[in-house]
């Protein structure tokens, strides 16, 4: 069995006859940084409940998760919803961690927008199945049997087996088979298997999310006594609400659990640690006494209004190091400014971004981070934009209240919260900070230029196994199509000509390469759709006849 996906970054080349010799992990190829055990510094969200906060709501969810019996008041499925920044992911993380501490089985998937495959649903079944096999080992032979019976279950893209069928065959059916054997399952002695799906609204595949939920509810309806709990968190979006706001689902509105007391505790811990580490604040306290004062803390709590992400970002804004001449010089000076910010994240984002707006390459760097389909490191962004690494760092060092800037040049840059990307991608909200879709065009051309540079240096680089692929090129192979689609309406004729020229040069260095052929065909078709060129459409069809004949007459690619 040989399976390739041209644009999805998933490559599998294996033999069914050798499947029994391979580990299940190798067969399923799960996403390793999507679970609660991921390195949260490199794979956001970097969320955790601070000690002394969220005690009541976490206790309620854990009590439900431990329950052996399923009733109308304690159903299999629980949906916690709330606005941006109210701590949903922190609660998911704490619930998972508690399950592990209590030796209860737990599998999880933390969706995160623009984080590669973590913002897609196609690898959810294989990722959950892999975790389940590690947590409940008795399920492994049933998962292997399902894969051997239907290898298409491994295909992580549309066009193979339906998502609902993949979840049934790889997750639900193997677990049910183990439970029905009536033998003692050690992993289940402390409680049911818990499945946590965090940030469901961060997934791009809205129709498939509905398919997932429908399949889940149908499975529980057919198996009312199965020892499985599913905990879902998300914002309230219609494609999710319409499926989950039903009687068989327990609903939790997290707004009902956002107390000023929790925010006050959270800020107290942050300021205690931050003040202890800051010699300027320490000197101020020795001369003037407590800082922030109790009055200022109460004002902050009221101003923050229950949003943990806003509280965290405001704290970082107040305590950040001063690197700009026009910036307020000390945390004591910045505290009154924080109290004057418009409540909510937009005001904070604008205030923070303004600190670097005057710096060279600011717009290019911020637009690039906003529009990437998966995070890149400072060194990769510098290479992509053709600038120095220090220029990227110089812009980002002022923005650490809202962007996680790693300590090394090779670690991906991530956002503290995906709402920043929503802000930057919405012109009415971002104003001068708007990441215009035309920047997709520049990124597309720069990725082509970088790939061509590496091919010219070593045409056989990408044909040799075991060779380390540069980060920019690895991204190119997985996500380039997103920038062509994102900027298709902004391409100028000269930019299409440049793209076609670069694609043809790459194909000349890799004759017959299917990906290079498809990229050239894509650009030809996109230009044909924009300017109505039959010549370009003919070229696209000749390069990829089966795929592009159906595209004739389509305006948007």
Q: What is the per-residue pLDDT across 416-470, written as a single tens digit (0 to 9) for each?
A: 778 899 999 999 999 999 999 999 999 999 999 999 999 998 877 766 666 778 9
Q: Are strands 414-415 and 403-404 parallel, antiparallel or unpaired?
A: antiparallel
Cβ atoms of 212 and 164 closer than 8 Å = yes
Q: Is the pLDDT of residue 547 over 60?
A: no
Greatest Cα-to-Cα distance within the chain, rounded to the nearest angstrom: 79
pLDDT for the residue 73: 66
Instruction: Please give the residue that has the higher pLDDT: either 553 or 91.
Output: 91
Q: What is the pLDDT of residue 436?
A: 96
- Check whether 101 has a pLDDT greater than 70: yes
- Average of pLDDT values for 468-481? 90
Check residue 534 and give its pLDDT: 66
pLDDT, tens digit, 9 for 90 and up, residues 362-395:
999 999 999 999 999 999 999 999 999 999 999 9
Asked if pLDDT for residue 327 goes beyond 50, the answer is yes
User: What's the predicted TM-score (pTM) here?
Assistant: 0.69
- Whether the predicted pLDDT of 552 surpasses 70: no
**What percentage of the chain has pLDDT greater than the value 90?**
57
Three-state SS annotation for 59-127 = HHHHHHHHCCCCCCCCCCEEEEECCCCCCHHHHHHHHHHHHHHCCCCEEEEECCCCCHHHHCCCCHHHH
Given a cut of 70, whether residue 406 has pLDDT beyond it is yes
Least confident range of 202-211, 234-243, 286-295, 513-522: 513-522
**Beta-strand relationship, 228-234 and 249-253:** unpaired
**Phi, psi at 297, each rounded to 5°:** -65, -40
Query: What's the pLDDT score for residue 259?
Result: 76
Question: Average pLDDT, whole number, for the chain?
Answer: 86
Phi, psi of 239 (to 5 degrees): -65, -20
Distance, CA of 525 to CA of 533 (rounded, Å): 9
The burial of 534, by beta-carbon neighbours within 10 Å (0-12 exposed, 13-18 middle, 19 or more buried), is given as exposed
Q: State residue 78 phi and psi, 5-degree precision.
A: -130, 130
Q: What are phi and psi of 471, to 5 degrees?
A: -60, -40
Distances 144 to 126, 128, 149, 150, 366 between C-alpha atoms, Å: 11, 14, 9, 10, 45
pLDDT of 510-534, one tens digit each? Answer: 888 888 888 888 888 888 877 666 6
Beta strands per DSSP E along 244-293: 249-253
Does residue 263 register a pLDDT over 80?
A: yes
pLDDT tens sequence across 69-90: 666 668 999 999 987 777 899 9
Q: Which residue has the higher pLDDT, 313 or 156?
A: 313
Query: What pLDDT band is residue 553 in, cutting at 50, 70 and 90?
Result: very low
**pLDDT given at position 7:** 37
Q: Are strands 106-110 and 193-198 parallel, antiparallel or unpaired?
A: parallel
489 alpha-carbon distance from chain centroid:
26
Query: Among 32-36, 62-66, 461-465, 468-472, which stretch is predicted with the lowest mean pLDDT?
Result: 461-465
* pLDDT grade for 8, boundaries at 50, 70 and 90: very low
């Amino acid at each position: 069995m040989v399976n390739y996906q041209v644009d999805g970054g998933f490559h599998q080349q294996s033999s069914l006859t050798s499947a029994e010799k391979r580990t299940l992990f190798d067969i399923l190829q799960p996403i390793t940084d999507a679970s609660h055990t991921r390195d949260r510094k490199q794979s956001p969200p970097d969320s955790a409940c601070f000690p002394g906060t969220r005690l009541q709501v976490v206790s309620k969810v854990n009590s439900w998760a431990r329950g052996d019996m399923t009733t109308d008041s304690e159903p299999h499925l629980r949906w916690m919803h709330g606005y941006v920044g109210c701590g949903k992911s922190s609660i998911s993380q704490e619930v998972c961690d508690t399950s592990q501490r209590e030796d209860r089985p737990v599998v999880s998937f933390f969706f995160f927008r623009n984080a590669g495959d973590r913002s897609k649903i196609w690898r959810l079944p294989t990722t959950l199945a892999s975790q389940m096999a590690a947590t409940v080992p008795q399920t492994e032979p049933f998962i292997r049997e399902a894969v051997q019976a239907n290898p298409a279950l491994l295909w992580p893209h549309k066009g193979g087996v339906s998502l609902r069928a993949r979840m049934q065959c790889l997750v639900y059916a193997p677990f049910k088979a183990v439970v029905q054997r009536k033998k003692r399952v050690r992993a289940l002695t402390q409680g049911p298997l818990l499945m946590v799906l965090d940030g469901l609204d961060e997934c791009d595949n809205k129709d498939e999310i509905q398919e997932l939920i429908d399949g889940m509810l149908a499975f529980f309806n057919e198996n009312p006594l199965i020892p499985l709990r599913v905990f879902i968190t998300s914002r309230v979006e219609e494609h999710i609400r319409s499926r989950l706001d039903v009687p068989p689902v327990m609903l939790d509105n997290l707004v009902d659990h956002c107390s000023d007391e929790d925010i006050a505790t959270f800020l107290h811990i942050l300021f205690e640690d931050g003040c202890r580490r800051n010699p300027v604040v320490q000197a101020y306290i020795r001369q003037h006494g407590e800082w922030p004062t109790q009055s200022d803390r109460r004002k902050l709590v009221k101003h923050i209004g229950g949003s943990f992400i806003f509280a965290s970002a405001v704290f970082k804004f107040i305590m950040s190091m001063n690197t700009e001449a026009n910036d307020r010089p000390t945390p004591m000076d910045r505290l009154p400014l924080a109290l004057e910010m418009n409540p909510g994240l937009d005001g904070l984002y604008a205030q923070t971004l303004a600190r670097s707006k005057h710096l060279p390459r600011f717009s290019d760097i911020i637009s690039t981070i906003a529009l990437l389909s998966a995070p890149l490191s400072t060194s990769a962004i510098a290479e992509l934009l053709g600038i120095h690494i220090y220029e990227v760092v110089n812009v980002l060092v002022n923005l650490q209240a809202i962007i996680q800037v790693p300590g090394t040049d090779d670690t991906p840059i991530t956002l503290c919260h995906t709402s920043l990307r929503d802000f930057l991608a919405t012109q009415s909200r971002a104003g001068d900070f708007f990441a215009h879709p035309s920047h997709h065009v520049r990124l597309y051309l720069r990725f082509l230029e970088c790939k061509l540079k590496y091919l010219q240096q070593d045409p056989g680089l990408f044909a040799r196994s075991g060779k380390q692929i540069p980060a920019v090129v690895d991204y190119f192979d997985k996500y380039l199509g997103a920038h062509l689609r994102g900027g298709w309406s902004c391409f100028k004729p000269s930019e299409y000509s440049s793209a076609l020229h670069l694609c043809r040069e790459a194909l000349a260095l890799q004759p017959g390469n299917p990906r290079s052929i498809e990229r050239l065909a894509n650009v030809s078709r996109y230009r044909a759709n924009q300017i109505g060129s039959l010549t370009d459409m003919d070229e696209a069809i000749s390069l990829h006849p089966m795929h592009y004949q159906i595209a004739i007459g389509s305006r948007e690619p």
